[in-house]
């Protein structure tokens, strides 16, 4: 799973995702304070493509 791989690699991410939807090499991460899109890089590591922080 995306969040487990990021944590194991020592990388940070927006905490407390409420929903993660993965398809092929992309993932949509939805949380209370952010919506993010991640993709797998050439070495299969997850990288954030965009992150929108919500002011709620």
Going by pLDDT thresholds of 50, 70 and 90, the confidence category of residue 6 is low
pLDDT for 19-42, tens place per residue? 999 999 999 999 888 899 999 988
Considering the chain, what is the average pLDDT of its residues? 82
Contact by Cβ (8 Å): 33, 56: yes
Neighbours of 56 (CB within 10 A): 5
pLDDT of residue 3: 65
5 pLDDT more than 80: no
- CA dist 19 → 3, 42, 43 (Å): 11, 25, 25
CA–chain centroid gap for 50, Å, is 9
pLDDT of residue 37: 93
Total residues found in the chain within this entry: 56
Q: Where are the domains of the chain?
A: 2-53
């Amino acid at each position: 799973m995306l969040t487990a791989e990021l944590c194991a690699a020592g990388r940070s991410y927006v905490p407390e995702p409420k929903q993660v939807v993965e398809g092929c090499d992309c993932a949509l991460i939805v949380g209370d304070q952010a919506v993010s899109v991640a993709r797998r890089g050439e070495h299969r590591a997850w990288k954030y493509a965009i992150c929108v922080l919500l002011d709620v």
